Amino acid sequence: MAQPPLPSVGLRYLAGRSFSIDPRTPSIFILPTAHGWNFVRSAAPASVPARTAGEGGREAAAGSAQQNGSWNVRKLETLAEAVPLLAATDEFVLGLPVSAVLAQRFRLPSVDPAEFAEMIRIQIEKLLPFSADEVTTDFELIEQSDSESVVSAVAIRNEQLAEIASPLLERGYIPRQITVYAAQRATTHAPSGNAVLIYPEGETLVYAVTENGKLSLARVFEGGNGDQLQIELPQLRLSAELQGIDAGSPNVLLDETCYGMRDTVQGILSSPTEIVGIELPPAPVKLNLLPESWRRRRLQLTRQAEWRKRLLWIGGGYVGLVLLLLTYLSILRFEIGLFDRRIAHDAPGTEFVRATDARWKALAPAIDAHYYPVEILLHLFESLPSADVRITGYNQSARQISVDGEANTAALVYQFIEKVKKNPDLRAFQFDMAAPRILPNDHAQFRLEGKAK
Amino acid sequence: MMPAWYQRMNARERVLSWVVVGTVFVLLNLWIISWIFGALGAAQKEVATRRGKLTEQALYMKERDLWTKRDEWIGKHEPALNNPAEASALLDQLKEVAGKYDIQIENPVIGSGETTPYHQTVFASIETKSPWPPLVHFLYDLQRPDAFIVFENVNLAIDGSDPTMMRGKFKVARWFAPAQKTK
C-alpha cells in the first residue's frame, strides 16, 4: 500500500487537544513488537518519506542494529534497553501497545472541535472507574457531518503509563509524543477507508479496526492461534458493526510475522489480505497521550539541556579566548627572548659605536662647528627679517645660548623666531622665547633662548 | 546526582551558596583576565622597546665605518695634557689672536676646569673691547675642530659709553684627552 510522505515539519500535540507545529521531526520511534520493542532511529535527516521495510528489512536480529535505507532498527527485549541508546536532546516518539489503552469510537452531537474534549472526558469517565485526573485522553476526528462528529478516543491510566515508561523516566528521558502503535500503523498503511489490522504485540495478537487511518476499535487476543481466530474475529466484527463501523469489506492488513495465518484470516473475513512489514518510519499521527505534567517536565528538561549546552559553548568560547590570549602572550615572550638574543649577539659590535657616539656628543662644543659662537651668530644674523630687528646682547655657555634684542614691532620679533627655528644650521639647538616686552616707543624687546638638543 | 551536602541545604542556603560561588568565580576570572591583559600590555611594550633597540643597533652597525673614522679622528687630534702650563699657553694664544685684530684684552684669568670622562680642561677668562668686525675675526680664528677650543662662556654686549664698540666676556677652554682614555 502506498505510504503518505512525512511532512517537512512534525506536529506537536499538547495534552488535550490543541497542537502547535514543531519544526523538528522526531528521529526516533520506540514501538511495541512481538519480541518486546523496536528502537527505530533515523540514520539521516528525518525528512524522508514514510515507508515500509521490505523483506530484507524484517530480519533484524535481537540486540543487533540493522541499517535499512536511512533508518536503523534495533530489537529490544525491554524498554530499559533503550536508555543507553538515547541522548538528553533526542526527540522520540513512544508507541504504546494496544493492551495498555482503551480505544473507543464516539459519535458526538457537535461539530465544534472545542467541545470534543469535554464530551470525550465525560464519555471516558463513564467507561472507566477512574477520575479524569488519573487518566490521559486524546482523540482524532474520523468523520464529520453537518450535525455530528465521529471521533476515535484513546485513554490511558497515568499510573500505568508511568509504569510502562518508568525505565525512561528514571533517566529523565520523556518522549515528545506518546501514541498508540496501532494508530501509527493505521495511519501508515490505511490512511483512508476502513481496514482491519492484525499484528502481534508481546505474546498477544492485536485486532484493530481503523477508519480513515484512525483507530476505531481494538481488541487483544491472548495467544491468537487459528482456532481462536475462528471464534473471536467474527465476534469482533459484530462488535464493530454494532458500534456503527462498516466492517463489511475491509482492507485486511496482516503483519508479516503472522504470515501463517493469512489463509485463515482470509477465510474468516472473506477479504483479500495484504502483508505489511515494519514501518520505517511510521506516519505521523495526531494522537498524543503525553500527560500535561510530563510535557511541562520535558519542557523544563529541554530548557535545562539547552542552557547546559549554551553554557558549555560560552565556557568553551571563554576558555578558547583565554587560551588564545595566553598563546599570544607566549608568542610575545618568545619574541622578546628572540630580540634579547639578537641584541646580545649584536651588542659587542655596537658597543664601540655607542661609546664613540657618546664621546662625540660630549666633545661636540669643541669639534662641531654648529656650537661655535661665530657660526651661531652668523646664522642668527642671517635669520634677521630686516634691519628693524637688532641684536643687543648675546650670551653662550657650552650648551646653551640666549639672545637679547629689540625690534620695531612685535610682529618682527615673531618673524625672527620663526626664521631661527627654521634655520637648518641652528638645528643643534631648540629655541624658545617668552612674549616680547612692548616698550613705551612701541618697540618690542625680546629674549631668545636656545638649548642644545 | 547532586552531592548529599548540597541536598541537605534549603533553598535559601542554595541561593546564597550560588551567589558566593558566582562571586568568587567572577572575581577570579576578572583577576585572570586582568593579569593576562596586563602581561600582554607589558609584553607589547617590551617588544616595542626591543624592536627600537634592534633598529638602533642596525643603524649603528650600518654606520660603524663612520664612527670608526670619527674615533680615529678624535684619537689623532684630541690633545693630551702633558704640560701644566697649558692654561698659560692658551692665554698667550688668545692674546696673539686678539693682537692680530687690535682687540683690547682686559682682566685675564687662567685656571683648570672640570674633568669629565671625556676630557680635561684648562681655561682662560678674558674681557675684550673692540668694534664688531675684528671681534668676529677673533672668534673665527680661535676655533677650529682640531684645536679643541671651546667657548664655555660668551657674553657680548654693545658698550654703553660707545655704541660702536662691543664689550665681550669670554671663558675660553681647551679640552684635552682624559687621563684614562674612554673607549
pLDDT digits (tens, 9 = 90+) for A47-72: 444 444 443 333 333 334 444 458 88
- Asked if B50 lies within 8 A of A339 by C-beta distance, the reply is yes
CA distance B133 to chain A (A): 11
Beta strand pairing status for B149-158 and A389-397?
Answer: antiparallel
Of residues A333, A363, A373, nearest to B151 (C-beta): A373
Lowest pLDDT segment from A247-256, A379-388, B101-110, B118-127? A247-256
The C-alpha cell at A225 is 492461534
Report the relative pairing of strands A273-276 and A251-255 from DSSP bridges: parallel
Chain B: closest CA distance from residue A399 (Å): 8
How far is A136 from A288, CA to CA, in rounded Å? Answer: 9
Helix (H) or strand (E) holding B40: helix B11-62
pLDDT tier at B103, thresholds 50, 70, 90: very high
Contact state of B139 with A374 under an 8 Å Cβ cutoff: yes
Task: Give yes or no for residue A155 having a pLDDT over 60.
Answer: yes
Contact A398 B67 (CB under 8 A): no
β-strand partners of A13 = A19
Closest approach of B9 to chain A, Cα-based (Å): 21
What is the average pLDDT across A363-383? 92
Residue B180 has pLDDT above 70, yes or no: no
Cβ–Cβ of B118/A363 closer than 8 Å? yes
CB contact under 8 A, B43 and A362: no
Q: How does pLDDT run across B137-169, given as a tens digit for each residue? A: 999 999 999 999 999 999 999 888 998 999 999
Cell of A59: 530480519
Of residues A84 and A241, the one with the higher pLDDT is A84
A373 contacts B183? CB cut-off 8 A: no
Cα–Cα dist B50/A340, whole Å:
7
Neighbours of B169 (CB within 10 A): 16
Q: Which of A346, A349, A395 is facing B155, going by the closest CB pair?
A: A395
- B173 membership: H or E segment, kind and range: strand B166-176
> Cβ distance A243 to A219 under 8 Å?
no
What is the spatial distance between Cα A415 and Cα A426, in angstroms, rounded to a whole number?
Answer: 16
Contacts with B149 from chain A: Cβ below 8 Å: 366
Range name among A116-120, A137-141, A343-347 with the lowest pLDDT average: A116-120
More confident residue, B168 or B113: B168
* B145: CB partners within 8 A, 6+ apart: A366, A367, A368, A369, B77
> How close does chain B come to A387, measured CA to CA in Å?
16
User: What's residue A68's pLDDT?
Assistant: 47
Centre a 10 Å sphere on the Cβ of residue B137 and count the other Cβ atoms it contains: 15
Alpha-carbon span A325 to A350, nearest angstrom: 35
CA-derived radius of gyration, chain B = 36
pLDDT at A1: 37
Degrees, nearest 5: CA angle A206-A208-A212: 150
Does residue A7 have a pLDDT over 60?
A: no
Taking an 8 Å cut-off on Cβ atoms, the answer to whether A356 and B70 are in contact is yes
Contacts 24+ apart (CB under 8 A), A302-309: A302/A89, A305/A88, A305/A89, A309/A89
Q: Which of A107-121, B34-48, B54-68 has the highest mean pLDDT?
A: B34-48
**Rounded Cα gap, residues A442 and A22, in angstroms:** 93
* B139·A377 Cβ contact <8 A: yes
Give B148 to chain A, closest Cα distance, Å.
Answer: 5
Res A224: pLDDT: 63
> Using CB atoms and an 8 Å cut-off, which of residues 109-168 of chain B contact chain A?
116-119, 136, 139-140, 143, 145-158
Distance CA A361, CA A349 (A): 19
Q: How far is B115 from chain A (nearest CA, A)?
A: 12
H/E segment holding residue B13: helix B11-62
> B35, B116, B150, B169: best mutation site toward chain A, by most A Cβ within 10 Å?
B150
pTM (two decimals): 0.54
Which chain A residue shows the shortest CA-CA distance from B181?
A359
In the predicted structure, residue A3 carries a pLDDT above the cut 60: no
pLDDT of residue B1: 60
DSSP, collapsed to helix, strand or coil, labels residue B3 as coil
Per-residue model confidence (pLDDT) at position A67 = 44
| Grid coordinates given for B153 | 662662556
Residue A118 has pLDDT above 90, yes or no: no
- Is residue A197 within 8 A of residue A253, CB to CB? The reply is yes
- Nearest chain B residue to A349 by CA: give it: B61
> How far is A230 from A264, CA to CA, in rounded Å?
8
- Give whole-number Cα distances, A411 to A406, A414, A423, A441, A442, in Å: 11, 5, 18, 15, 11
Which residue's C-alpha cell is 643643534? A428
Per-residue pLDDT, A229: 78
Task: Give the model's pLDDT for residue A71.
Answer: 84
Judged by CB atoms closer than 8 Å, whether chains meet at B47 and A336 is answered as yes
**Quick check: B57 contacting A, CB < 8 Å?**
yes
ipTM of the complex: 0.76
Element (H, E) at B112: strand B104-112
Q: A449: which residues sit within 8 A by CB, 6+ positions away?
A: A400, A401, A402, A403, A431, A432, A433
Contact B64 A353 (CB under 8 A): yes
- For residue A265, the model assigns a pLDDT of 83
pLDDT at A5 over 70: no
Give the cell for residue A4. 503518505
3-state SS record for chain A: CCCCCCCCCEEEEECCCEEEEECCCCCEEEEECCCCEEEEEECCCCCCCCCECCHHHHCCCECCEEEECCEEEEEECCHHHHHHHCCCCCCEEEEECHHHCEEEEEEECCCCHHHHHHHHHHHHHHHCCCCHHHEEEEEEEEEECCCCEEEEEEEEEHHHHHHHHHHHHHCCCCCCEEEEHHHHHHHHHCCCCEEEEEEEECCEEEEEEEECCEEEEEEEEECCCHHHHHHHHHHHHHHHHHCCCCCCCCEEEEEHHHHHHHHHHHHHHCCCEEEECCECCCCCCCCCCCCHHHHHHHHHHHHHHHHHHHHHHHHHHHHHHHHHHHHHHHHHHHHHHHHHHHHHHHHHHHHHHHHHHHHHHHCHHHHCHHHCHHHHHHHHHHCCCCCCEEEEEEEEECCEEEEEEEECCHHHHHHHHHHHHHCHHHCCEEEEECCCEECCCCCEEEEEEEEEC
Q: What interhelical angle do B64-77 and B11-62 show, nearest 10? A: 60
Please give the share of chain B, as a percent, with pLDDT higher than 90.
76
